[in-house]
Amino acid sequence: MDSFLISYAICVVSLLTIRISAKEFNVLSYGASGNGITDDSSAFMKAWKDTCSEAASSATLVIPKGKQFLVHPLIFTGPCKSGTINVMLSGTILAPNGPDQWNASDLSTWLAFEGVTGLSISGFGTIDGRGKGWWDRSCRYHPGQGCFTQAPTALRFQNCNNLKMLNTNFHNSPQTHVLLLGCQNVELGFLNIQSPGTSPNTDGIHIQFGRNVSIHNSQIADGDDCISIGDKTYDIKINDIKCGPGHGVSIGSLGRDGEAVQVNNIKVKRTGRGLVQNVTFTNINFTAVENPIIIDQYYCDKPNSCKPTDTGVHINDVRYSKLIGTSQTEVAINLNCSNNVPCTGIALDNVRLELIFTVFVTISYVLTPGASGATSLFNVVDYGAVGDGKTDDSAAFSKAWKATCNAPSRNPILIIPATKIFLMKPVTFSGPCKSTSIHVLMSGNIVAPNSKMAWKGFHINRWLAFTHVNGLTIIGSGTINGRGAAWWSQPCLHKVPKGVTCKGPTALTFYRCNGLVLKGIRHINSQRNHITISNCKDVTFSNLHISAPKTSPNTDGIDISGSSNVQIRNSFIGTGDDCIAISSGSSHINITGIACGPGHGISIGALGAHEEDTVEEVHVRNCTLKGTMTGVRVKTWQGGVGNARRISFEKIRFIRADSPIIIDQYYCPSRVNCKNETSGIRISDVSYRSIIGTSTTDKVINLSCDQNVGCTNIQFNYVYITSTVPGKKAYAFSFNAHGNYAHTRPVVKGLQA
C-alpha cells in the first residue's frame, strides 16, 4: 500500500467510523474537551504515551473531527514500540492566543515530534498557531521594549525518519510553520499552509540536516520563504507547489555543504566554505514575482555589516529549464557570483520571463562552450495589432503567424504582449511550419466578438484553431475570453426551422498538432467547448484555468478525440458541461491533479454512435471533483461496436458530487426513441482505487452494463463514499457487471465475480 493510499485509508476511517486493524487512542477518551477553551495538553500527552507504548504493528492517535483542542507547548517523544505510528488529525489544534498566554519558558517550538520513526500524519485537520499576537510584538516590525526577537515554530520534527504528512492545513504560525531537523525519508504532500504576506519569518517549510525529502502538491502562502533549505541537506525534491505570497523557494543562506536539490531561487552566504551542486529548477511558472531567478553570493541579512572574505561556497551545476512567467522587477535574472569562488556549470534552457509593464523576453540555452541557437521574435504589435479590445486584430495575427511559421530559425516565437486586449474574429493558424519548434508567448488577452453578428461570413464551428503544426508550445499567463453568453441561449447564427439545432463555436481547436504543449493560460466563457484536441499525438496541457458558469450549456473544458499520449495535469476546470471528455479513437490519456467543478465531471464517451469506437489506456489520478452533476463516468450508446478498456480512476476525492461513479451503457440523454440493441461497446478492465468523498445522491455507484455484452473485470479497492442526503444511506447499483470489490463502502453487492 503506497503512502497516498495509507493517508486516504486513515481519512475514510474517520469519515465512515469504521475501524482498521490498528489500535486507536482517541484524545477524547483521555479527558480532552475539544471546546477550544479548556487546556487539553495533558490529555494529548496521556494519549500519546499509550499510542507510543502500544506493541501492535500499527497504532493510531485520533484527534477527531468537529472539535477544537487548545494545546500548550508539547513534545511527543520516541522511540515508540510500534514501527508504524499514525496520527489521524481530523479536528483543529489551537495554540495559546499570543505570548501573554504562553506558559512555557522555551519560545522556540509549540508542537514537536522527536525520535519517532514511521510516523504518518493525515486526516484533513488544521494546526492553527494563532500567531497574530506574536507578529504584533515582533522586533522586526515593532522594535522597542517588550518586543520578541523569537517566536515559536508551529510544528517541529527532529530525527524522525520515514515520516509522512499528508492532507494537513496550517494557519498563522507564530514563526516557521513546519521545521524538519535531521529527518530522512520524508514525504510532505497535499498541505495547505497559510499566513498573511506581512507576517514576519513565517516560513512554510524549513529543512535542515535532512536527506531524501519529497514535498509535493501543496499550496504555501506566508510572510517568508515558502520552502527554505539549509545546510547539509541532500536529495530534496519539490514538485507541484503553488507558492505565494512569500519569498519563494530558497537554498540558503549557506556557509557549508548543500547539494542534490530540485527547487528554485538560490541565496548563498558569502562567508564560509562548502559546496552547492546538482541543483535543478524545471517547469516553473512565475506570476508577478519580484526577482524570479537569483544566485546571490554576497547575501548579507544586515547590510553594511558583512566583511569581505577570500573564501566562499562553490556553486556548481545549477540548471534552469522551462521557466516562464512575469516579473515585477526589470532584472528578472540576477546571477551575482563571487569574484574569488565563481559559479560554474550554470545552464539556462527555455527560460522566458517578461516584465509586467514592458514586454521583454530572455531566451537562453545551455551556457557551455559550443552551444548555440538562433531565435526569432515576432510581436503581433509589429504587424499592426492594436490591442485596444475594439479594433479587429485578426489580420495582424495572421500576418505575424505566417512570418513565424515560415521563419527558418530553430525557435521562432510569436509574442502576444501583456497589458493589451486583442479582438479576434475566427482565425486558423495553419502549418506545417519550417521549424520543428514553434512557440507562442501569450501574455496579453484575446477576446471574441461580443455579438454573433460579427460572425457573418465565417463558419461558426470554431473560433481559434491550430492545424498541422508540429512542435507547438503555447505558454504564458494571458486569457482567452470567448464571450460566450450570446451563444448559450441560442447557438444558431440565423433563424432556423423549428426542430433544427445548432452548435456554437469551439473556442480553441488543435487538429493534427503533434508534440503540443499548452501551459499557464486562462480560458473563460467559451461559446461551446473551450478546447478540442483532435487527432494529435504527444500532448501536454498543464497549469490551465478554464471556467464558465455552471448554467452555460455544452461548455466542456477539454474534449479529446482520436488522440494518443495526452497528459493533462495540475489545472482547474469549472464549466457547464464535462470538465474533460474523452471520445472515440483516444488512447494513453493521463489526467492528474485536476480540480473539477462545477460541471459534469470527467467522462469517457459517449461511445457507440459510430460504426466502431474504441478508447483505451485512460488513467485519472489525484483529482478533486466538487459540486459536479456527475463524477467519473463511462457512457455508451446502445448498439455500438468497439471497446472501452484498461481504464483506471485512482486517488479521487468527491465533494458533494451528484452520482460520483457511473458506468452507463444505456446512454440516451433525450430519453426519446432510445435504442434497445443486442450489440454494445465492450467495457473491460476498469479499476476504481483509493476514492473517497460525499454525494448529493444516495446512489453513489451506478454500474448499468449492457444486458447482452456486460462489463468485465470491474475492480473496486478502498472506495468510500457517503451520502449528504439527511437520513439516506448510500448504496451501490450493479447490473450485469463482473469483477470484485474490497475495502469498499457501500458494498457493490451486484458485482459478480
pTM to 2 decimal places:
0.56
What's the grid cell of residue 321? 529549464
Start and end residues for every CATH 2.160.20.10 domain found in the chain: 1-15+24-205, 376-565, 578-753
> DSSP assignment of 276-325, as one string?
EEEEEEEEEEEEEESSSEEEEEEE-SSTT-PPP-S--EEEEEEEEEEEEE
Give the integer Cα–Cα distance in Å for 7 and 15. 13
Residue 163 clears pLDDT 80, i.e. is over it = yes
Provide the mean pLDDT of the chain.
86
Q: How confident is the model at residue 463 (pLDDT cuts 50, 70, 90)?
A: very high
**Confidence band for 4, pLDDT divided at 50, 70 and 90:** very low
Paired with 284 in beta bridges are: 323
* The residue type at 482: G
Backbone φ/ψ region at 240: left (φ over 0), alpha (ψ -120 to 50), beta:
left
Q: What is the mean pLDDT of residues 351-369?
A: 41
Task: Give me 139's grid cell.
Answer: 522586533
Q: Which residue in the list 171, 177, 206, 247 is annotated as catalytic?
A: 247
pLDDT tens for 723-746 read: 998 888 999 999 999 999 999 999
CATH numeric code, 376-565: 2.160.20.10
pLDDT band at 577 (very low <50, low <70, confident <90, very high): very high
Q: Provide the 8-state DSSP code for 167.
A: S
Q: Does residue 416 or residue 334 have the better pLDDT? A: 416
Residue with cell 447557438: 491
Identify whether the C-beta of residue 229 lies closer than 8 Å to the C-beta of residue 176: no
Please check the confidence at residue 266 and state whether its pLDDT lies above 70. no
- 514 - beta bridge partners? none
CA angle 656, 657, 661 (to 5 degrees): 140
Cα first-last separation, the chain: 23
pLDDT score recorded for residue 355: 54
Dump pLDDT digits (tens) for 233-243: 888 888 888 88
Tell me how far apart the alpha carbons of residues 195 and 142 are, in angstroms, rounded to a whole number: 18
Q: Does the pLDDT at position 519 exceed 50?
A: yes
Assign 3-state DSSP to the chain and report helix, strand, coil percentages, each to 5.
10, 45, 45
CB-based contacts of 308, cutoff 8 Å, min separation 6: 270
Lowest mean pLDDT among 350-354, 450-454, 744-748: 350-354
DSSP 138: B
- Among the ranges given (71-75, 114-118, 638-642, 689-693), the one the predictor scored with the smallest mean pLDDT: 638-642
* pLDDT of 497 over the 60 cut: yes
Average pLDDT over residues 568-575: 95
Look up residue 256 and give its three cell numbers. Answer: 557549508
Residue 349: strand pairing partners? 321
Query: DSSP letter at 638?
Result: B
Q: Which CATH architecture group holds 578-753?
A: 3 Solenoid (2.160)
247 is catalytic: yes
Residue type at position 524: I
DSSP for 650-684, please give it. EEEEEEEESS-EEEETT--TT-SS----S-B-EEE
Kindly write down the DSSP assignment for every residue of 682-747, as one continuous string: EEEEEEEEEEEEEESSSEEEEEE--TTT-EEEEEEEEEEEEE-STT---EEEEESEEEEEEEEES-
CB 606 within 8 A of CB 667: yes
Of the two residues 43 and 301, the one the predictor is more confident about is: 43
Q: Which CATH number fits domain 1-15+24-205: 3.20.20.70, 2.40.128.20, 3.90.550.10, 2.160.20.10?
A: 2.160.20.10
Mean local confidence (pLDDT), 503-529: 95
Residue type, 276: V
Tell me what pLDDT residue 410 has. 77
On whether the CB atoms of residues 170 and 129 are closer than 8 A, the answer is yes
pLDDT tens per residue, range 50-95:
999 998 889 999 999 999 999 999 999 999 999 999 999 999 999 9
Beta-carbon contacts of residue 158 (< 8 Å; ≥ 6 apart) = 112, 113, 114, 115, 181, 182, 183
Alpha-carbon distance 169 to 595, whole Å? 18
Amino acid at 371: A
pLDDT at 100: 87
3-state DSSP assignment of residue 232: coil
Note whether 87 and 121 are within 8 A (CB): yes
197: Cβ–Cβ under 8 A, 6 or more apart, which residues? 221, 222, 223, 245, 246
pLDDT exceeds cutoff 50 at 449: yes
The 10s digit of each residue's pLDDT in 529-566 is 999 999 999 999 999 999 999 999 999 999 999 999 99
Beta strand ranges found along 5-130 (DSSP E): 23-26, 35-39, 58-63, 68-70, 74-77, 84-89, 92-94, 109-114, 119-122, 126-128
Give the model's pLDDT for residue 273: 46
* Residue 315 in grid coordinates: 556553486
List, for residues 578-625, the tens digit of each pLDDT value.
999 999 999 999 999 999 999 999 999 899 887 789 999 999 999 999
pLDDT at 368 over 70: no
> What pLDDT shows up at residue 257?
39
The yes-or-no verdict on residue 218 having pLDDT over 50 is: yes
User: What is the structure's pLDDT at 302?
Assistant: 58
Query: Which secondary-structure segment (H or E) carries 510?
Result: strand 506-511
Q: Using alpha carbons, select from 129, 125, 146, 144 the residue that is nearest to residue 61.
A: 125
Alpha-carbon dihedral angle through residues 138, 143, 144, 149, given to the nearest 10 degrees: 40
Which of 348, 385, 520, 333 is closest to 442 using CA atoms? Answer: 520
